[in-house]
Amino acid sequence: MTDQLTYAVVIPTIGRDALTDLVGGILAGPAPLPEEIVVVDDRRDPDPALRMPSTEACPTRVVASDGHGPAAARNRGWQSVSAEWVVFVDDDVQLPADWTRQVADDLRVLDRSIVASQARVHVPAPSGRPTDDQRRTLGLAGAQWITAEMAYRRSVLLEVGGFDPRFPRAYREDSDLGLRVSRAGHEIRSGERVVDHPIAPGGFLRSVKVQAGNADDALMRHKHGRNWRAATGAGPGRPGRHLLTVLAAVGAVAGAMSHRRRPAAVSVTVWGAAFLEFALRRIAPGPRTPREVASMLLTSALIPFAAITHRLRGEWQIRRSRGPRRPAAVLFDRDDTLIVDVPYLDDPDGVDLVPDAVEALSALRRNGIRTGIISNQSGVGRGLISTDALARVNARVSELLGPFNTWQVCPHAPDAGCSCRKPLPGMVRRAAEELGVPASECVVVGDIGADVEAARAAGADAILVPTNRTRPEEVSAAREHARVASSLVHAVDLIMGANR
């Protein structure tokens, strides 16, 4: 059970009109208020700038994510906060007046084994029979792991790498995260709090436009296997029937063009039966107004083609993005690579992260690449740092950057004659052995020549991320025998084949 609750609120937005009222409502709520509210502006053109209400008790920050979609926007938000819990709230959700008390009550009772708390989403039912578009929104009320309002421990976001930005829409990105968290052995629990999700006005062809999500289904299958729908509670879908409908239509056209009447007639019959089954299934539960029936007939003819086109696009994007073989593990130097170098650091409060360290590690972890640290700490051997102080500093690094799969530290003085101090390969080899992978399947990322030399001696790949203390000759040698990156994020781009 949490003794002192700290939580931050992250709101990805495209600038909806209700945003100001949403933030104002949170600020006006009862204690305990969030540690801060981070509004992530995901508009491609952030002009005019968003102006959000703020208080001294709960500051509000606006950060930009350049229109890369809600998954990337949420990552930008949670990576910028330090609270124990991160509560994601969509900008079109309506919160009760006492929501801050409700969310705190839900989170306080959770022990450390529970890493996420999902709100109960209520979708106000429309008067009369709902339309097809309204039924889609009503389905959110029972959706699993939906991030319309959901809280995650920041530690588990660090562990699994957060949201996968390859999901560009508000579709499947929350299911992907929930499934990865669940498969990592963690528990997600529903809370008692309830939030409202309004039904947005739909368009005549909206059901065709949302078929773009089939590309995301392809990514889900690639990441989680054929049974991903059952694992996420997504329902069976209709990819097989849509494919049959499209093939029948293509067969009818091909038969007509080649003057093969019988095959053309059979194909037309199959297409017609498939079309009618789909259209009637969608028309039956609806209001059956002339406009709704016309929309169902037209979109039922178009949806199979849109669905299959987007699914094929998604499969093609996955194949194109595979690139070179990815390593089994990435081993990082600690000082001046992941944290700012402070000579003989013995105080956990002095740990200061290098910019983009969280983002770089998250990209690796959400792609299943293990991470480790290999660090020379001669201050122990020199008598300048105690082993307990070093352990506390390293624990703070893990707290800020997430759990590493291996820690290798050389505590010896330079003249001790050990086999582990970089540029010797001992720590690289021990890390690979602990991870159960060949050293040749590891990449070492560091800021000086000793990191590159240790990697090469062990048979691992290496990437140098130079800093002000990196000597020019070390950069030149790395360009010849390894790779050089301008930042940690650039190093991860190189490791992932420039596709994260």
Q: Which residues participate in catalysis according to the annotation?
A: 333, 335
CA–CA separation, 287 and 293 (whole Å): 9
Q: Which of 378, 374, 373 is nearest to 427 (CA)?
A: 374
Q: Is 242 exposed, middle or buried (0-12, 13-18, 19+ CB in 10 A)?
A: buried
Q: Which two tokens stand for residue 163?
A: 């949201």
CA–CA separation, 94 and 336 (whole Å): 44
Query: In 284-354, at which residue ranges do the beta strands (DSSP E only) sit?
Result: 329-332
**Do the Cβ atoms of 221 and 175 come closer than 8 Å?**
no
The angle formed by the CA atoms of residues 213, 76 and 148, to the nearest 5 degrees, is 50
The angle formed by the CA atoms of residues 398, 400 and 403, to the nearest 5 degrees, is 35
**Do the Cβ atoms of 445 and 488 come closer than 8 Å?**
yes
The DSSP result for 160-183, as a single string, is HTS--TT--SSSSHHHHHHHHHHH
Q: Which two tokens stand for residue 294?
A: 């016309």
In sequence order, the 6+-apart residues with CB closer than 8 A to the CB of 3 are none
**Do the Cβ atoms of 377 and 409 come closer than 8 Å?**
yes
CA–CA separation, 314 and 336 (whole Å): 39
Q: Strand 114-122 to strand 149-153: parallel, antiparallel, or no bridges (unpaired)? A: antiparallel
In our burial notation (b when 16+ CB lie closer than 10 A, e otherwise), range 182-193 reads beeebebeebeb
Residue 57 to residues 11, 35, 83, 96, 147, Cα–Cα distance (Å)? 18, 8, 15, 20, 26
CA–CA separation, 67 and 303 (whole Å): 27
DSSP state, 339?
A: B
